[in-house]
Amino acid sequence: MKPWSCPSSTSSALLVLLLCCSCSTISRSQTADSCATGLEATVGHLIPFDTSNLTCLDAWTSEGSILRYRKSGQNNTWSFVLSAPDAGGYVAVGFSSDGAMIGSSAVAGWTTTAGVGVAKQYRLGGTSPASCPPDQGSLSLIPSTTLLTTRSSRLYLAFQFTAASPPAPYLIYAVGPSGAQLSNDYLVRHRSYASAAVNYATGVSSTAGGSSSAKKWHGAGVGFVLGAVGVAAGFRLSDVPGAGSHQALGVAVLVFGCLQVLAFLARPGKASKVRRYWNWYHHYVGRAAVACAVANVFVGLSIAHEAVAAAAFYGVFLAVWVLASVVLEVRLWRTAA
């Protein structure tokens, strides 16, 4: 009889690889949802209405959201179930007449720290928590049918409402920041959102599109590059009398721009206790950059010995811009109040 020996390292590696692949497949199957499968075998028994024969949409592909809906012709009842990965924040679906979030009615759901599901209707009146009060909205929700349940690391937001005509033609999807605490159930600002036009009769939906961090990064990158080019051009004026102050202000603007980019990277969540201090820093550094840029234009005109008319024109433009800025600041304060 041959003595027993351990398997080779190659065999062991193959075994580990197979186990990893199996675990990965199982994990994906536990967290995934698709229109190819129904809800009866997963959460259908937890939802207080019939979930069979629902029309299914790949609602928001980038966030893995699936929407199912159906209308019951006898009593004009609309049934909706939104499925999304549990990322530690709320999930929401709203109904909008023009694709805008503000002014729409939405249903949002989340799990508490104790693991209990909560679902409520909201009237989205603005971007601050105070403007998104719970238990308000234009949807005629049927009592005891609105709930949020979880299964295999996914959230299932289910609700019914009555409407004689089809709902608003645009659906708004949103996910909240992970770990955010909802004071008195008021919604905090979303982490991401998207909107899509829906034809309820055919079950056809446009591609959901909305907020994009790529757009924000694009704007920040372009602004930084333009500022750096301006500073580089300013250093070529070293031999011009009086150019020192012009260069110094240009460098100050560039430094403030760099600080703004760094602030973007270190931005805390909406629910963070230090968010208010970050807001102060971000706003006042931005205002300082604008003030230095405005002053630098006048300094540049002075160095270039431009005509008084050019300076007067710029002064008028600046006055109009300041007036518009004041109006927008007042509107911002009123919205946040």
pLDDT tens, residue by residue, 146-157: 999 999 899 999
Summarize pLDDT for 94-136 with one digit per residue, the tens: 999 988 888 999 999 999 988 899 999 999 998 888 999 999 9
Residue 39 structure tokens: 């809800």
How far is it, in rounded angstroms, from Cα 46 to Cα 158? 10
Residue 21: pLDDT over 60: no
pLDDT band at 1 (very low <50, low <70, confident <90, very high): very low
State the architecture of 39-207 in CATH terms.
Sandwich (2.60)
Average pLDDT, the chain: 80
Summarize pLDDT for 61-106 with one digit per residue, the tens: 889 999 999 998 778 999 999 999 999 999 999 999 988 888 999 9
How far is it, in rounded angstroms, from Cα 106 to Cα 108? 6
How far is it, in rounded angstroms, from Cα 175 to Cα 296? 42
Say what the pLDDT of residue 217 is: 54
Domain residue extents for the chain: 39-207, 215-306
Which amino acid would we find at residue 62? S
Question: 24-33: string of b/e by CB count within 10 Å (b at 16+)?
Answer: eeeeeeeeeb
Residue 234: pLDDT over 80: no
pLDDT band at 18 (very low <50, low <70, confident <90, very high): very low
Say what the pLDDT of residue 73 is: 72
Task: Indicate left, alpha or beta for 332 from its phi (over 0: left) and psi (-120 to 50: alpha).
Answer: alpha
Say what the pLDDT of residue 312 is: 76
110 or 207: which leads in pLDDT: 110
Say what the pLDDT of residue 204 is: 86
Q: Kindly give, in sequence order, each residue whose CB lies less than 8 Å from that of residue 142, ignoring residues fewer than 6 positions away.
A: 77, 160, 161, 162
Summarize pLDDT for 291-335 with one digit per residue, the tens: 888 888 778 777 777 656 666 777 787 788 788 878 877 776 665
